[in-house]
């Protein structure tokens, strides 16, 4: 990291505490069926694994979304307008954000939000270096909770939340509505949301996207167990578990699991967790929508869909929503 650049940006740190991490992990593993919050997939190592996923041949969402943005960026930035504060949820490496920043007209500032503090600071420092006239205000937080958005020095005409990558699909329908309602509050009157939404398509395409032949998605998924070992004194034997993902056409979602390969008992900070042979730990859902379904969801949350851009196969969409 360029420490000279790092000193030019100030982090607002609301990273979840280790105690909360422990409590949520233990609560999830005591459920039937077992589950772990998908947000905890994204520590620094997990974020690096996910960056590799986005480059895989099978994983279409990232490159498809980027192509949509490159093709239609002028329309997008015209809708955003001048002097907007850009707030990105789950900023990661901010690759697609650069497409926006290269074309935005006099942005008031950029607020990248991510749950992985170290990864966030590396990305924010790089953005600050590449865009020296842009005020970068990184916020480390679990963005599913309430928080205050940092205020830029330059007055903003409106707030525009940027939520790319179809991450809205990680929420079940009712939590998705509540989450979008929170975003509408963050945007405020006159504000907007630009969001990536993955669309329904042939199940084989979806299956391959989450079961790549290189095993990168498997490593990303299993890293959550390694993280528990590192941070919570866990003793998961990773070789005793296997990544498993499937598309559920009834629910319209990908389901990602970690499957136990034997009867075993694991320990987390002295707490024993029995896991049966074949038992699943559910780590992530990824809902897919058609355009009408998502428009109805957005409306229940206080948004109206102003514009939709898709690729020529209608595999993915970027949508511009305004607060009703």
How far is CA 78 from its chain centroid? 25
Residue 8: the pLDDT is 58
The whole-number pLDDT of residue 281 equals 98
- Model pLDDT, residue 92: 72
| pLDDT above 90: percentage of residues in the chain | 89
When pLDDT is cut at 50, 70 and 90, the band that residue 13 belongs to is: confident
* pLDDT value for 310: 98
E runs forming strands in the chain = 12-14, 34-35, 84-89, 109-114, 139-141, 158-163, 192-198, 241-248, 253-260, 264-268, 271-275, 280-287, 303-310, 316-323
The closest alpha carbon to 173, from 301, 283, 62, belongs to: 301
pLDDT of 134 strictly over 60? yes
Top-tier CATH class for 3-10+62-201+288-323: alpha beta
b/e 249-287 (16+ beta carbons within 10 angstroms → b): eeebbbbbbbebeeebebebeeeebebeeebbbbbbbbb
The answer to whether 302 and 323 have CB atoms below 8 angstroms apart is yes
Which residues make up the CATH 3.40.50.150 domain(s) of the chain?
3-10+62-201+288-323
- pTM of structure: 0.91
Q: How far apart are CA 189 and CA 38, in angstroms?
A: 31
Contact between 49 and 123 under an 8 Å Cβ cutoff? The reply is: no
Decide if pLDDT at 1 tops 80: no
Look over the chain and give the mean of its residue pLDDT values, rounded to a whole number. 94
What are 74-120's pLDDT values in tens digits?
Answer: 999 999 999 999 999 987 777 889 999 999 999 999 999 998 888 89
pLDDT in tens, 201-243: 999 999 999 999 999 999 999 999 999 999 999 999 999 999 9
């Amino acid at each position: 990291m360029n420490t000279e650049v790092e000193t030019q940006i100030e982090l607002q740190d609301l990273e979840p505490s280790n105690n909360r991490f422990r409590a949520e992990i233990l609560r999830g593993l005591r459920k039937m069926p077992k589950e772990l919050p998908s947000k905890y997939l994204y520590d620094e190592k997990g974020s690096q694994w996910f960056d590799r996923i986005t480059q895989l041949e099978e994983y279409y969402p990232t490159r498809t979304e980027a192509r949509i943005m490159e093709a239609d960026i002028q329309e997008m930035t015209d809708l955003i307008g001048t002097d907007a504060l850009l707030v990105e949820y789950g900023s990661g490496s901010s690759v697609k954000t650069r497409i926006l920043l290269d074309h935005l007209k006099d942005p008031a500032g950029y607020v990248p939000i991510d749950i992985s503090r170290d990864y966030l600071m590396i990305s924010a420092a790089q953005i600050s270096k590449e865009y020296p006239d842009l005020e970068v205000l990184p916020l480390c937080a679990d963005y599913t909770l309430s928080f205050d958005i940092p205020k830029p020095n330059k007055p903003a005409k409106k707030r525009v939340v940027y939520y790319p990558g179809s991450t809205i699909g990680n929420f079940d329908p009712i939590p998705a509505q509540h989450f979008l309602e929170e975003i509408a509050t963050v945007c405020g009157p006159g504000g907007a949301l630009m969001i990536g939404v993955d669309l329904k398509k042939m199940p084989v395409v979806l299956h391959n996207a989450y079961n790549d032949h290189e095993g990168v998605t498997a490593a990303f998924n299993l890293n959550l167990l390694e993280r528990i070992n590192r941070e919570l004194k866990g003793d998961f034997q990773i070789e005793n578990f296997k990544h498993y993902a499937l598309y559920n056409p009834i629910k319209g979602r990908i389901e990602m699991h970690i499957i136990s390969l034997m009867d075993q008992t694991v320990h987390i900070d002295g707490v024993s967790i029995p896991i049966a042979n074949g038992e699943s730990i559910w780590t992530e859902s990824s809902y897919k929508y058609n355009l009408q379904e998502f428009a109805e969801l957005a409306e229940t949350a206080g948004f109206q869909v102003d514009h939709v851009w898709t690729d020529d196969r209608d595999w993915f969409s970027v949508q511009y929503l305004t607060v009703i």
